[in-house]
């Protein structure tokens, strides 16, 4: 099949290209040429800009389009409108952030999506990201009715993840010493390896099945304790975990996600159900998951290839973590 990928080979795009090539598809990528421009020399590269620079896409045909770089509905609509008569199927990589609330557990695809009072807003932030993605889905469906796939992904993880969110934990556990673990070990967490997501997308393209799917996992419930234990197994000299209560961390002004990636306090309100999203529909449609140990080991192996002066975007500094752990021990008499 002839596939067009909108976006660069950075993370999800990279794994989608890998999966497409492994399935012997003919791949074309369209982007500005700013992200890993020399990667994939065997792949056709079209240069342009989604904001007014789509000329390179004109006059071409593809069996399917995979949109990894759509965040603004105006630009997604431009691409979908142009490609409506040039492609048979449109895959839009969306997010579970589209939902108006994630307070409830087992959120299904039928749940209401977030809305913006002003749908012309194009500033992307924590409040607008999800509703803008929902509007992007609607733009695609408008031009590809009943021939589009909306991939509402959860937390995507694995090698080449530039966000350092999941990656922080294999890296931190591999540093050894005493590591601060937030909340409680029996608290749920959901992740999906980018390679599993990509393989599933290829399967969906092959069948042409349209619709909206929550794409996260694994199939069986996963806990923080199990996730961090997998990180300990992958490490040569693993850190020992000290679990610290939400209330203490919040009093110490520790920031969820930024200071402790993936951490969602029990008092998170609208985010309380983030890690219990219902992904049974995607599983029934063929989504499978590699062992967590493989995801952790491969992520750690990739992290170890980074430059020695690499500094993570998120996570506690060593000084801050040590101070928090000491303060936690000092507060034992108060608990």
Is 277 in contact with 111 (CB distance < 8 Å)?
A: no
The yes-or-no verdict on residue 115 having pLDDT over 90 is yes
Residue 253 token pair: 């002004």
- The per-residue pLDDT for 334 is 78
The reply to whether 168-189+220-272+291-334 shares the fold of 2-153 is no
Cα separation, 240 vs 270, in Å, equals: 32
**Residue boundaries of the structural domains of the chain:** 2-153, 168-189+220-272+291-334
Banded pLDDT at 139 (limits 50, 70, 90) = very high
Digit-coded pLDDT (tens) for 214-269: 999 999 999 999 999 999 999 999 999 999 999 999 999 999 999 999 999 988 88
The yes-or-no verdict on residue 270 having pLDDT over 90 is no
Cα separation, 282 vs 288, in Å, equals: 9
User: Is domain 168-189+220-272+291-334 in CATH 3.90.25, yes or no?
Assistant: yes
- Listed residue (251, 237, 255) closest to 316, CA to CA: 255
CATH, range 2-153: 3.40.50.720
Digit-coded pLDDT (tens) for 56-93: 999 999 999 999 999 999 999 999 999 999 999 999 99
């Amino acid at each position: 099949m002839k596939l067009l990928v909108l976006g660069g080979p950075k993370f999800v795009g990279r794994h989608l290209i890998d999966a497409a090539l492994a399935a012997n598809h003919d791949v074309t990528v369209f982007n500005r040429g700013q992200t890993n421009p020399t990667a994939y020399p065997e792949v056709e590269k079209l240069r342009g800009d989604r904001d007014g620079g789509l000329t390179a896409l004109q006059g071409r045909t593809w069996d399917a389009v995979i949109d990894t770089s759509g965040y603004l509905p105006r630009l997604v609509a431009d691409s979908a409108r142009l490609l409506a008569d040039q492609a048979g199927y449109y895959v839009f990589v969306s997010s579970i952030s589209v939902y108006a609330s994630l307070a409830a557990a087992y959120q299904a695809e039928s749940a209401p999506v977030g809305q913006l009072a002003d749908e012309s807003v194009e500033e992307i932030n924590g409040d607008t990201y999800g509703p803008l993605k929902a509007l992007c889905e609607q733009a695609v469906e408008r031009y590809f009715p009943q021939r589009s796939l909306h991939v509402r992904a959860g937390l995507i993880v694995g090698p080449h993840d530039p966000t350092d969110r999941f990656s922080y934990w294999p890296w931190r556990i591999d540093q050894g010493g005493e590591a601060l673990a937030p909340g409680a070990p029996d608290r749920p967490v959901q992740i999906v390896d980018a390679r599993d997501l990509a393989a599933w997308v290829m399967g969906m393209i092959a069948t042409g099945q349209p619709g909206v799917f929550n794409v996260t996992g694994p199939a069986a419930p996963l806990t923080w304790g199990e996730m961090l234990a997998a990180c300990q197994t992958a490490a040569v000299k693993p850190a020992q975990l000290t679990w610290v209560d939400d209330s203490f961390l919040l009093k110490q002004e520790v920031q969820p996600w930024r200071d402790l990636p993936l951490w969602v306090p029990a008092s998170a309100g609208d985010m309380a159900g983030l890690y219990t999203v219902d992904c049974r529909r995607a599983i029934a449609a063929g989504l499978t998951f590699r062992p967590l140990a493989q995801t952790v080991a491969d992520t750690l192996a990739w992290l170890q290839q980074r430059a020695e002066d690499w500094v993570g975007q998120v996570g506690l500094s060593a000084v801050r973590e040590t101070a928090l752990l000491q303060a936690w021990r000092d507060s034992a008499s108060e608990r």
